[in-house]
Amino acid sequence: MKIEVEALSPVEKKVTVEVDPERVAKELNSAYAIIGQRVKLRGFRTGKIPRNVLERHFRDEVERDVVEKLVKATFEDAVREQDIKAVAAPRVDLEEVALQASQPFRFTARVEVKPKLEPKDYKGIEATRRPVEVTDQMVADELTRIQEGMTQLVPVEERFDAQDGDYAVIDHEGTIDGQPFEGGKAEGMTVRVGQGELVDGSIPQLVGKTLGETLEFDQAFLADHRVESLRGKTAHFKVTLKGLKAKQVPSLDDEFAKDLGAEGVDTLEALRARIREDLSKRETRRSDIELRDALVKAALARNDVEVPPALVEHAIDVMIGGAGERFARQGLDIRKMGLDLPKLRADLREQALVQVKGALLLEAIADAEKLDVTDEELEAEIAKTATELNLPLAKVQHQLRGGEARLALRNRIREDKALAFLTSEAKLN
């Protein structure tokens, strides 16, 4: 096998592979032998069909399969032999479409690769670390948020009319141009009574209505509504008031603190202290992240990093996938939200580009400073992950036993080391 490699740019290589005639003949012979054992042709016994007859009937299929097999196998061999750091599947240009057992098979592939970086001027970067401050108001706001999370909706028993601020249990049925539409009908749905829009979970028209009463109204949907089929349309709704509920807000006292069930927290003052401690940790993490982002941004300003487009697209895929997982935890399917995916990808591209540039530069800094990850450090991070996720250590170890998963974790630890190195070498104000 002959291999020629040409650098088209810092992030793309052209790889030309020529496969020996002997290997081509071997693959063709094997393919025809396999197909001869499984096909049936009138006048021939299975396994006894002459080669020329098989070629007449199945040449295109066989050659297509052999070409695919040869390209995959020999390109992987070429990548290993030439130590090419491919970041995406190759784009293959077949110079010879027809295979001949007595002739070499030649193909050309273009493949995106990681750029070779020699980082410079990344030590001594001047930066400012935001001071960490937790105010009494921040503690109060967090306590209010927890209180709202503990708030319950309880039935209204002393009256039958809906008032602003209530929560109503309704049945509704909607039509557009007299025809029902998907999602337009529901029973036992809870909405707010008062100012707002139906799409936001509020129906102001319910104010003053009594239990059992039905009202009708039109609802116009915005041109950018999340459901594409409803954009710019007006629906007519019939709504029946079935029940009333009101918020029951728990009192902020020692019993409230105990009900949260946090270990060591049995008074309101202890809860406030715990909240302050947690906020301090959160703000410290934010300050660290902001500092590290600033350092990477400053380092990138001193280093020109060319990025393989495939890595940017992969980063966008990861962002969208992460958003999908977060929506799924809330019971929402991102695929049914009517998102303009091309626009979303375009909006995320600049963020993804900066993210990939930063990762490539940090990897280069780790190489330059010989920052490696030991097996002990890897196992410690796995144990830390298991603790944070409250999962058995053996389960996390099993999930990360695959080569790719462990490599991804090792790379993340190495990136963290590079960030820590940048911070330690920075001139902080």
Distance CA 158, CA 204 (A): 21
Query: What pLDDT is stored for residue 96 in this prediction?
Result: 55
Element (H or E) spanning 216, and its range? Answer: strand 214-220
Model pTM?
0.71
Query: What pLDDT is stored for residue 258 in this prediction?
Result: 92
HSE-CB for 68 with a 13 A CA cutoff:
7
Confidence of residue 212 (pLDDT cuts 50, 70, 90): very high
CB 109 within 8 A of CB 29: no
Rounded to the nearest integer, the mean pLDDT of the chain is: 90
155 φ/ψ angles, rounded to the nearest 5 degrees: -60, 140
Please, what is the end-to-end C-alpha distance for the chain in angstroms?
59
Region 136-155: what's the mean pLDDT? 94
Above 90 in pLDDT, residue 243?
yes
Region 149-176: what's the mean pLDDT? 92
Confidence of residue 302 (pLDDT cuts 50, 70, 90): very high
Q: How far is CA 422 from CA 132, 333, 354, 362, in A?
A: 20, 40, 17, 9
Query: What pLDDT is stored for residue 52 in this prediction?
Result: 87
Query: What pLDDT is stored for residue 310 in this prediction?
Result: 94
Above 60 in pLDDT, residue 97?
no
Residue 302 C-alpha from the chain's centroid: 30
Kind of pairing between the strands at 427-428 and 91-94:
unpaired
Helix and strand counts by DSSP (H, E) for the chain: 10, 12
User: To 10 degrees, the CA torsion angle through 356, 359, 364, 366?
Assistant: -170
Above 60 in pLDDT, residue 331?
yes
pLDDT per residue over 354-394, tens digit each?
999 999 999 999 999 999 999 899 999 999 988 988 889 88
DSSP-derived secondary structure letter, 11? T
Distance CA 392, CA 395 (A): 5
pLDDT per residue over 181-197, tens digit each?
888 899 999 999 988 77
Write down all domains in the chain, each with its CATH number in brackets.
Answer: 2-112 (3.30.70.1050), 152-248 (3.10.50.40), 268-428 (1.10.3120.10)
- Three-class secondary structure of residue 156 per DSSP: coil
Region 6-17: what's the mean pLDDT? 93
Region 238-254: what's the mean pLDDT? 93
Share of the chain above pLDDT 90, in %: 59
Distance CA 426, CA 127 (A): 7
CB 338 within 8 A of CB 225: yes
Q: How far is CA 130 from CA 238, 287, 289, 299, 428, in A?
A: 54, 6, 10, 19, 10
Query: What pLDDT is stored for residue 95 in this prediction?
Result: 61
Above 60 in pLDDT, residue 49?
yes
Where is pLDDT greater, at 92 or 332? 92
User: To 10 degrees, the CA torsion angle through 218, 224, 227, 229?
Assistant: 70
Distance CA 369, CA 356 (A): 20
Confidence of residue 396 (pLDDT cuts 50, 70, 90): confident
Retrieve residue 26's tokens: 């071997």
Confidence of residue 223 (pLDDT cuts 50, 70, 90): confident
Which parts of 47-178 are beta strand (E)?
A: 91-94, 105-112, 126-127, 152-155, 167-176
Region 309-331: what's the mean pLDDT? 88
Above 80 in pLDDT, residue 336?
no
Confidence of residue 103 (pLDDT cuts 50, 70, 90): confident
Query: What pLDDT is stored for residue 412 in this prediction?
Result: 92
